[in-house]
Amino acid sequence: MTVPSIKRVFLISGDIIVFYLSLWLTLFIRYGNNFDYQKWERHFWSFTIIYLLWLIVFYIAGFYELTIARNDLRFYSTLSRGLLINFALA
């Protein structure tokens, strides 16, 4: 693997980790002490489909291109377009 490929894998992996940590935290806040594995499993597959679609949209939009991964107008424009499409899909 080349260095840009490794960096791209880290970017995508970071998004996946954030997605599932957010899901876990949301379910934990929602259910509190009643949060268990069954509730996690019930939500896991539904959100996995959504997260997969979101990753595809981000990839197609070029969000994981290393030239875009900077805090400039192009980055925020790409992020905004990707998020708008993902909100519509969800």
pLDDT digits (tens, 9 = 90+) for 11-51: 899 999 999 999 999 999 999 989 999 999 999 999 999 99
More confident residue, 71 or 31: 31
Neighbours of 20 (CB within 10 A): 15
* pTM exceeds 0.85: no
67 by DSSP, 3-state: which?
coil
Element spanning 34, H or E:
none
CA angle 48–37–53, rounded 5-degree value? 5
**What letter represents residue 58's amino acid?**
F
Please state, in angstroms and rounded to a whole number, the distance separating the CA atoms of residues 48 and 19: 9
